[in-house]
Amino acid sequence: MLCPGLFISSGPSTEITTREMQIKELKYLTKQQAQRLDAEKNANDYLTRLLSDISVFLLDYKVVSPIFLCL
């Protein structure tokens, strides 16, 4: 199956077109990876804040002693 914009012909123009398609694909993959890493970072930040809030709640209301939160 041919990619859109990929023209088959003999000579150097095929190499250039193929290279352009590879560059576009790499840019697309890099953008996807950046979005995924950003989403993971946001999720990690959220979980860190949530765990911090839970530990503060548990300590404030003396549900557990501080020693148990260190385990």
Q: Which pLDDT tens digit goes with each residue over 3-54?
A: 455 555 555 555 668 888 888 888 988 999 999 999 999 999 999 999 989 8
Sole residue written with tokens 């709640």: 57
Instruction: List Cβ neighbours of 10 (8 Å cut-off, separation of 6 or more).
Output: none
Rounded Cα gap, residues 4 and 11, in angstroms: 19
What is the SS3 assignment for 1? Answer: coil
- Say if CB 21 and CB 5 are below 8 A apart: yes
Domain chopping of the chain, boundaries:
13-69
| pTM to 2 decimal places | 0.52
Higher pLDDT, 42 or 59: 42
